[in-house]
């Protein structure tokens, strides 16, 4: 070991001593950074929960608002985590970068472990995940739970189109589009006669795979349309060379009860005089 190396080591020791933090009055720099990031996160989260989604992505069903709440929840808390992680990263890079008067191999203060911090970053995300799970199960229960007096919509997926049937109204052959009355729960039964497809109506926030199950099995989904309009139905599962063309721009028309009955009659269907059924539907296959 030569003199040069000894000098360097000594230089390093001196430098380490000079970067020792001095005691601060009031908020330390880290606490101040955390407070600033907290304010930024709060403003961001309020914005995410308050900004309307509807003008950009219309919410066409009661369930759409619930699904969008999950989206807001994930975006708000996920964004806040990003703000904290990136904010601290930038702060640390700035604070602990090599200063011009320091030796190239200068060492800062070494520390290891922080039990309180570790408990906080374990419990915080755990609570968030449990909350997300609870919200998701509630929304999912609403999407598949029995509703009163539902309209039963049969969706037939095949290469490369959809067919719609309304058995309650005597419409039992495939139609390329369907009318639905506003504000009445729709119980969808989907089946495929060839390969897997997926029934997606973006404005309804529903998307359910149509799996060619044995014994004519079906998959189900429920939604309650809340807005009059014409909606796209899109296949969102790769199902062959025609998959990209498997979408119907005017697949679902949501109309008033009166217009719905007029449409049923125009299609040769029958509107029952006492409504269809008030019984709750059971779910035979899931
Ligand atoms: Cu059917 Cu993709």
The percentage of residues in the chain with a pLDDT greater than 90, rounded to a whole number, is 58
pLDDT digits 0-9 by tens, 105-116: 888 778 888 898
Going from the Cα of 229 to the center of ligand 1, the distance in angstroms, rounded, reads 24
Q: For residue 11, is pLDDT > 70? A: no
Confidence at residue 274, expressed as pLDDT on a 0 to 100 scale: 61
pLDDT interval class at 280 (50, 70, 90): very low
Going from the Cα of 161 to the center of ligand 1, the distance in angstroms, rounded, reads 8
Q: For residue 74, is pLDDT > 80? A: yes
Question: Would the CB of 237 count as within 6 Å of ligand 1?
Answer: yes
Confidence at residue 215, expressed as pLDDT on a 0 to 100 scale: 65
Beta bridge partners, 230, equal 253
Confidence at residue 87, expressed as pLDDT on a 0 to 100 scale: 93
Question: Would the CB of 208 count as within 6 Å of ligand 1?
Answer: no
Q: Which atom of ligand 1 is nearest to the CA of 240?
A: 2
Question: Would the CB of 201 count as within 6 Å of ligand 1?
Answer: no
Half-sphere exposure of 233 (CA within 13 A, CB side): 22
Residues with Cβ < 8 Å from 99, sequence gap 6 or more?
19
Phi–psi pair at 141, nearest 5 degrees = -60, -40
Confidence at residue 284, expressed as pLDDT on a 0 to 100 scale: 42
pLDDT interval class at 29 (50, 70, 90): confident
The edge-to-edge listing of strands for the beta sheet with 171-175 is: 171-175, 161-166, 151-158, 186-192, 219-223
Question: Would the CB of 161 count as within 6 Å of ligand 1?
Answer: no
Whole-number mean pLDDT of the chain? 84
pLDDT digits 0-9 by tens, 147-175: 788 999 999 999 999 999 999 999 999 99
Which pairing describes strands 151-158 and 186-192: parallel, antiparallel, or unpaired? parallel
The percentage of residues in the chain with a pLDDT greater than 70, rounded to a whole number, is 85
pLDDT interval class at 79 (50, 70, 90): very high
Confidence at residue 27, expressed as pLDDT on a 0 to 100 scale: 61
Which position has the higher pLDDT, 6 or 251? 251
DSSP 8-state symbol, 215: G
Question: Would the CB of 246 count as within 6 Å of ligand 1?
Answer: yes
Question: Would the CB of 239 count as within 6 Å of ligand 1?
Answer: yes
Which position has the higher pLDDT, 254 or 146? 254
Query: What tokens does 124 get?
Result: 């915080």
Q: For residue 220, is pLDDT > 80? A: yes
pLDDT interval class at 25 (50, 70, 90): low
In the block, tokens 């109309």 appear at: 255
Q: Which atom of ligand 1 is nearest to the CA of 236?
A: 2
Residue 61 sits at the vertex; the CA angle it makes with 58 and 133, to the nearest 5 degrees, is: 100
Mean pLDDT across 176-182 = 95
Distance (Å, whole) CA 185 – CA 222? 7
Identify the residue whose C-alpha is closest to ligand 1 atom 1: 197
Going from the Cα of 207 to the center of ligand 1, the distance in angstroms, rounded, reads 12
Distance (Å, whole) CA 242 – CA 254? 27
Q: Which atom of ligand 1 is nearest to the CA of 195?
A: 1
Confidence at residue 229, expressed as pLDDT on a 0 to 100 scale: 95
Question: Would the CB of 155 count as within 6 Å of ligand 1?
Answer: no
Going from the Cα of 160 to the center of ligand 1, the distance in angstroms, rounded, reads 6
Distance (Å, whole) CA 185 – CA 119? 45
Confidence at residue 162, expressed as pLDDT on a 0 to 100 scale: 95
């Amino acid at each position: 070991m030569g003199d040069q190396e000894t000098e360097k080591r000594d230089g390093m020791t001196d430098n380490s001593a000079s970067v020792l933090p001095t005691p601060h009055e009031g908020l330390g720099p880290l606490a101040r950074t955390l407070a600033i990031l907290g304010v930024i996160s709060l403003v961001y989260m309020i914005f995410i929960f308050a900004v309307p989604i509807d003008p950009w992505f219309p919410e066409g069903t009661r369930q759409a608002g619930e699904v969008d709440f999950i989206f807001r929840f994930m975006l708000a808390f996920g964004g806040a985590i990003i703000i904290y992680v990136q904010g601290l990263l930038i702060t640390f890079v700035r604070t602990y970068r090599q200063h011009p008067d320091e030796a190239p191999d200068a060492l800062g203060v070494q520390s290891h472990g922080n039990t309180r911090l570790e408990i906080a970053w374990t419990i915080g995300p755990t609570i968030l995940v449990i909350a997300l799970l609870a919200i998701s199960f509630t929304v999912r229960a609403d999407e598949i739970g029995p509703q009163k007096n539902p309209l039963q919509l049969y969706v037939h997926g095949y290469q490369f189109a959809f067919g719609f049937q309304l058995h309650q109204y005597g419409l039992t052959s495939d139609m390329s589009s369907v009318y639905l009355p506003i504000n009445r729960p729709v119980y969808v039964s989907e089946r495929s006669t060839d390969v897997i497809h997926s029934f997606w109506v973006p404005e309804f926030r529903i998307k359910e795979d149509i799996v060619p199950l044995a014994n004519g099995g079906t998959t189900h989904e429920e939604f309650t349309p809340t807005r009059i309009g014409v909606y796209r139905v899109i296949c969102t599962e790769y199902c062959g060379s025609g998959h990209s063309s498997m979408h119907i721009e005017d697949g679902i028309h949501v109309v008033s009860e009166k217009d719905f009955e007029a449409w049923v009659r125009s299609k040769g269907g029958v509107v029952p005089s006492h409504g269809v059924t008030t019984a709750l539907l059971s779910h035979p296959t899931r």
